[in-house]
Structure 1
Amino acid sequence: MRWDVFAWAALALILFAAETLAPGAFMLWLGFAATAVFLAVWVLPGIPLLAQVAAFVVLSFVSIQVYRRWFRGREPQSDRPALNRRTAALVGQVVPLHTAIVNGRGRVQIADAYWDVSGPELPAGVPVRIVGAEGMHLLVEPA
C-alpha cells in the first residue's frame, strides 16, 4: 500500500474519532474532506503531494461552508431564546421596588430572588420596569 493512501485514510479516521470525542460537527466535515482526498489518491495514483494538500484545504473549506449554510441554518429555533440568560429574560417585566433607590442603587424581589437595581431615586413599593442589565445588575425606570 502506498504511503499517501494510508496517510489520508489515517487522517480521515483520526478526524472522525476526534469528532466523537469532542462533538460539534467541525471535525466531521474535515473528515469528509480527508475521505474524498483518500478516495481520489486511491483511484488516481500519481497525484502530487502539493495537489493532495491543496485539494484537502479546498474541500475542507467547501464542506464547512456547506454545513454552515445548509445544515446549521435549518436548526430549530428555540421558543425561549433567553432561557439561559436570566437577566435578558427579565427585561420588560414590571415589579415593585423592595428597597428604595437611593444614590442610584436599590433592590427588587423577583420570585424568590433579590436583585440589585440602578435607576432614578424612587421610594420602596413603586412599580419599576426593567429596561436592561449589566451582568447581574438590573437597570430600571419608573413604570
Structure 2
Amino acid sequence: MKRINQYKKMFSVENSIDLKSLKTSYRKLVKEWHPDKFQEGDAKREEAEIKSREIIDGYHFLVSIAPETKLANAEEYKALTTASGILDFQHKGQLLEITFLDGTTYEYFGVPKKIYIKMINSDKIYRFAKRNIFESYMYRKSKKTMQEA
C-alpha cells in the first residue's frame, strides 16, 4: 500500500486512477526529468536517470492497477482464478504474491498476516484463496505467463 500511495503522490492522483490524466501527468514528468536535458557528467543528470526510471516504473505500476485495465482483463482473470490452481505463494508485509499453475503471477495488496496464516492452515489453499482473497483485495498481474519452449 505504501508503494501505491508513493506512486499516486508522484503523479498527483487523488482517488481513482484515470488513465487519461495519468498519461498526461506521466508525459509532463518524463519531459521534466529526461536525462538528455542535462549535460554529460553533471550530477543532476545521474539524478534524472534515477528519477526517470522511477517515473516509468510508477506509471506502469499504476496502469496495471487502474480500474480500466482491470475491466479490460476481467475475463482473463476470472478464467484464471476459477480454472487454474496455485503453484506457489509468498507473503511480504501486506503483499501476497500468488503464482498460478500456468506461470502467471498476481500480487494482492493489503493482505494482513492473519489472513495469510489462515490460508496456510487451510486444508484447501486454492479454495480459501478463491473465497477470501481473489475478489477481496486490490491486485495486479505482476509477471507474464511463462513461454513454452
Q: TM-score, normalised by structure 2?
A: 0.25
Q: Which has the larger radius of gyration?
A: 1
Whichever structure has more strand as a proportion of its residues is 1
Whichever structure has more helix as a proportion of its residues is 2
Q: TM-score, normalised by structure 1?
A: 0.26
